[in-house]
Structure 1
């Protein structure tokens, strides 16, 4: 029974992080779709990814 609880917790953690990644990619793609310069767009996209994962990491450790 302990294995099943641990397994389900791991699955829920994976859903959280994959969902966070998908959200960050969509948010970044929408934000940079209006930027013409590819180099600046790539930097903005990377910053958005880092910020979203940083916030998610801080939130997950608090709860």
Structure 2
């Protein structure tokens, strides 16, 4: 693999890994603090908005 491709792949992987880690950590903190409503709301909105953004991207760039 070229150095540019290696850099692109590793940056994408590490970026995704840290994003998911932050998402998990924040949800764990909400759950541990007893904020069950905010915990559930955070998960639902994150998943829904990500899927909506992906769908919108498909529609716009179709």
TM-score category (smaller protein): 0.5 to 0.7
Relative contact order, higher structure (CA 8 A, sep 6+):
1
Gapped regions of structure 1 (runs ≥ 5)? 59-63
Per the alignment, residue 7 of structure 2 pairs with 8
Q: 1:29–1:45: 8 Å Cα contact kept in structure 2?
A: no
CA distance in 1, matches of 2:8, 2:35: 42
Residue ranges of structure 2 left out of the alignment (5+ in a row): 55-62
Alpha-carbon RMSD: 3.4
Q: 1:21-59 CA distances to partner (integer Å, 9 max, x unpaired)?
A: 00000000011113387xx787456326526x83xx78x
1:31 and 1:14 map into 2 onto residues whose CA distance is: 26
Structure 1 stretches of at least 4 aligned residues deviating more than 6 Å after TM superposition? none
Q: Given the two structures, how large is their TM-score scaled by the length of structure 2?
A: 0.56
TM-score (norm 1): 0.55
